[in-house]
Amino acid sequence: MHVLTGSSCPHPFISAACPLCRGSDAPGRVEALATASAVATAIDAAAGQAEIVLRDGDLLSRPEALDLLQHARQTAKAVELWTSGLMLARPGVVEAVLRAGVTTVALPLYGDSAEAHDWVTGQPGHFQRVIAGLKRVRALGGKTAVIAPILRPTFRTLPLLVQKSLALDVAAFRFVALPGPDRVGQPLLPSLEMAAPYLRQALQMTAAAKKRSSVLDVPACLLGDRAADAAKEAAVSVVAEGAAKHEREHGPQCDACTWRAGCPGLLTATAQRFGWAGITARTDAPPTASTRK
């Protein structure tokens, strides 16, 4: 799987305070947008990959989106598109996205309920629009994935989010530890050590349901026996970055850890907020990835 980041989200009509969009709650901060040619070049660099993932911004907010999606599908056998879901409510958008060659549409759920999700986004009705988008994609024969950010208000409900998403025939789950600045008044980012037990339970549920899952920016030691699956799914190359590239920088891996090969290390920003709580060098054999359909 190849990941292309920097697809950009200029927010002309997306008013949700989406924590996946870096800097969305940082007053006065302006993110540079990756140019269409830069994204196209990154797609070219991923030639030969089985799957391309387009994330870090909503590609559907760009006028050249369909051309870039078609280019991605000509380059890889499968294309996963991360989008806020708001554009999917427009007539004909889902059909156009699938015709362009997108095989999986990934939509964010910030909680298992409308109340929790809409509180995070700051936009009433956003949860229902995301659910409608998931259903619409499936009704037209496309695959869906849920992006589940690990957030302070909702990390305890990650297993419930998985349970409810499975009822929507979701094919994959992407659990994400967010980098970058936190909200000032109502912080969103939790200690990963606190969230880890709930994340492991959610991963166990996806494995039992034989669904694909990946974890972005969480150290392997916090994932326990689910670490191998997460490493297998998340072993990707980032070939295009927008502004604030430093926000996804990781600290060093533990020197003597036997799980080093499957561990990205701890996000530097996370270490600065919470220290290295829960991060422990392993001395046992790393877990073996489970077999999935």
Ramachandran class of 179: left when φ > 0, alpha when ψ lies in -120 to 50, beta otherwise: beta
pLDDT tens per residue across span 31-51: 445 677 878 888 888 787 788
Task: Report DSSP state, residue 252.
Answer: P
Q: Which of 133-147, 188-202, 232-246 has the lowest mean pLDDT?
A: 232-246
Q: Which of 237, 220, 240 is nearest to 229 (CA)?
A: 220
Domain spans in the chain, listed from the N-terminal domain onward: 2-274
How far apart, in whole angstroms, are the C-alpha atoms of residue 187 and residue 264? 24
Provide the CATH topology of domain 2-274.
TIM Barrel (3.20.20)
pLDDT reported for residue 282: 87
Average pLDDT over residues 223-238: 61
pLDDT reported for residue 247: 63
pLDDT tens per residue across span 74-108: 988 889 998 888 888 888 999 999 999 999 999 99
User: Which residue's structure tokens are 């499975």?
Assistant: 166
Average pLDDT over residues 197-204: 95
pLDDT at position 236 over 80: no
Q: What is the pTM of this model?
A: 0.86
Amino acid at 112: D
- Write out the H or E segment, with its range, that includes residue 172: strand 172-176
How far apart, in whole angstroms, are the C-alpha atoms of residue 28 and residue 130? 28
Q: Is-contact 37 127, C-beta < 8 A?
A: no
Q: Which of 172, 176, 178 is nearest to 213 (CA)?
A: 172
pLDDT reported for residue 20: 61
How far apart, in whole angstroms, are the C-alpha atoms of residue 248 and residue 120? 21
